[in-house]
Amino acid sequence: MSEHHYIACDLGADSGRVIFGTLREGKITLEEVHRFPNGASKINGSLRWNILRIFEELKTGLRKVAEKKVGAESMSVDTWGVDYALFNQRQPLLALPWHYRDARTDAPYAATRQRVGDAKIFEQTGIQFMPFNTLFQLIDDVERNPDLLSIADRFLNIADYLNYLFSGVACAEESLASTTQIYNPKTRGWSKELIAACNLPERIFPQIVPSGTPIGKLLPAIQEETGLNEIPVVASCSHDTGAAVTAVPAEGEGWAYLSSGTWSLVGVELPAPLINEEVCCYNFTNESGYGGTTRFLKNIVGLWLLQESRRDWIRQGMTLSFDDLDRQAEAAEPFRSLINPNAERFLKPDNMPAKIAAYCRETGQPAPETPGQVTRCIFESLALSYRQMLAQIEHLTGRTITRLHIVGGGGKSSLLNQYAANGTGRPVFTGPVEATACGNILIQALALGHIDSLEALRKTVRESFEITSYQPQGSESWAIAFERFSQFNLD
């Protein structure tokens, strides 16, 4: 009986996990060996990632794996996109990395789009315009932190930087590089035109490697500190959504995916980028997936709205689990209040229930007054947003979408899953919840030759996890709600 073991270091905006994965006779099992909280640190009015604490937590997880006395064969880190660390040969870290929700990019975002032009930026990158993309963060560094950039040898996005700390090899994994809005998916390299047009220092851009590339071995110092052997460090899909989409248990045609977590990422898998003026107008994105595929998707606000609201309620002394909120939402009045979850006001942290209430009042609706009403407003609005995104994807790609696969932590909410089916009018299939860690681990298996294709990988997922289905209900009431939702232009 063949058996292989791998380590996934899976970092999200709210928490980080070290997952021990075992591949045995065509099935994968996952064991969480270490979990820790994550989030922004506020320092002198800025939002930063405490990357050194994250590194220490990951090493704690690796020690726990070593204590199992079962030989892991490789490891890999995945994280969110866009954020990065700067370093040089003498200093392993020049400053704490900025958090993408910091407002520092608001000015360069608007100025660069006007000066360089949306058409040129999109033609070069095919990436959705969002103010926190790496392009605009680096432009802010050029304008306000030139002393820091002048001594930097490299920048690496967060997962690639952590893989560098473990292996000593500095390179950019393709799926993560594609989130920067500096990567050209047609040439599969950095956009030299944008680098020049935005006065970015070309020397800091690392080599790009395909998803699933073993980049080096665990450094001797890390081996000594953790007790692990000299195992390969693999650049799997370093972008968490790239890893999650790889693990979507779909087959055949006609399916779309929703990676549901802090963000909701709705899209389809294409064989090549789709870059044209209409795609630019709809502000869709072409991110790289495993095996040269393209994740054609829209990045929209997801459970961030509820996570921030819950933080506010906890500060007020309310003890509410997500299960509690689901139950209260189910009992609340349907379609009482709706919002455009992608309105700019909802991107920044703090006072989320107040922001939602203000939006509803400004659009002539009753403001949600209870946690249950706020949660129902968020869930119904997200489901209607999914409906809108799928219609736009069908229009832009010419494909017919017959079913939706939901992966990620949002799949734990049966209420939201049912609303997704109701709102989109399509069957919804959920699972696995740990799609990112699953994709990370199975791409390592592909890299080491233990699985032979993307199709075989997805078959492994189907045979390893329970997939739950939801059928659409209440189509007429949801269609009426969508007409109302579609009128919201308020930002």
Q: Which residues are catalytic?
A: 240
Nearest to residue 16, comparing CAs of 60, 47, 48, 46? 60
Q: What distance in Å separates the CA atoms of residue 212 and residue 291, rounded to the nearest whole number?
A: 8
Q: CB atoms < 10 A from the CB of 71, how many?
A: 12
The DSSP code sequence of 232-272 is EEEE---BHHHHHHHT----SSSEEEEEESSEEEEEEEESS
Q: Could you give the strand order of the β-sheet that contains 285-288, starting from the edge strand earlier in sequence?
A: 285-288, 294-301, 263-270, 255-260, 403-407, 428-430, 468-470
Helix (H) or strand (E) holding 421: helix 414-424
Contact yes or no for 150/214 (Cβ under 8 A):
no
**What are the helix and strand counts (H, E) for the chain?**
19, 21
Pinpoint the alpha helices (H) of 275-370.
Answer: 277-282, 304-315, 322-331, 352-362
Reading the block at residue 314, the tokens are: 């906890």
* 3-class state of residue 406 by DSSP: strand
State the Cα–Cα distance between residues 138 and 155, nearest whole angstrom.
Answer: 10
How long a stretch of residues is the chain?
491
Among 87, 98, 104, smallest CA distance to 43 is for 98
- Distance, in Å, from the CA atom of 140 to the CA atom of 150, rounded to the nearest integer, reads 14
Cβ contacts of residue 262 below 8 Å, gap of 6+?
A: 12, 13, 14, 302, 303, 304, 307
Neighbours of 439 (CB within 10 A): 32
